[in-house]
Amino acid sequence: MTTVLRLCYLLGLSVWIGEVIFFSFVVAPAIFSVLGPAPAGDVVSVIFPRYYALGMGAATLTLASALALGRRATLPRLWTAASAVLALGLVATVIAGTIVHPRAQQLRAAAHAAGQAPADSEPFQRAHRLAVGLNGAALLAAVIGLGLSAAALHE
């Protein structure tokens, strides 16, 4: 059973870290460089619900596996620390996907309705900065969780 838990943990963590890095540093910049701001915004707006759903699912699998592994560990303190950090990353992902993204979509639509580019809308820019910050926090939490669990997996 421990082997299955470790597999679930590592799979969830690798998918979570991989999707954040790939989307943030490869996909989004490529889309914006090819299409320009307005059409690229349309494309990433369609991607975001799936992006956040995948992130929430992977983070949940990771956290659940970490908690279960911690209960089985002889020295659970590293798993406890990893679980706490991973929980923060999951919270950041959930907030970004369920609160900030829908709000940014509303602000984006309002900017378009007013004949303004979302990039020129200060409320939209604030929401975007918050989403980027939460995304960065989730990535940092996942990487810290990876480091803590690297030590914990040897227990």
* Residue 38 confidence (pLDDT) above 90: no
Report, as an integer, the average pLDDT of 7-11: 95
Going by pLDDT thresholds of 50, 70 and 90, the confidence category of residue 48 is very high
Going by pLDDT thresholds of 50, 70 and 90, the confidence category of residue 153 is confident
Going by pLDDT thresholds of 50, 70 and 90, the confidence category of residue 152 is confident
What's this model's pTM, rounded to 2 decimal places?
Answer: 0.92
Tens digits of residue pLDDT in 92-151: 999 999 999 999 999 999 998 998 988 889 999 999 999 999 999 999 999 999 999 888
Locate the domains of the chain by residue range.
Answer: 2-152
| DSSP 8-state assignment for residue 115 | T
Q: What is the pLDDT of residue 155?
A: 60
For residue 5, the tally of other CB atoms under 10 A from its CB is 17
User: How far apart are the two ends of the chain, measured CA to CA in Å?
Assistant: 16
Report, as an integer, the average pLDDT of 28-55: 95
Q: Tell me how far CA of residue 11 lies from CA of 45, 115, 116, in angstroms.
A: 26, 44, 42
Whole-number Å distance between alpha carbons of 94 and 137: 12
8 Å CB contact between 63 and 90: yes
Whole-number Å distance between alpha carbons of 82 and 40: 36
* Residue 74 confidence (pLDDT) above 90: no
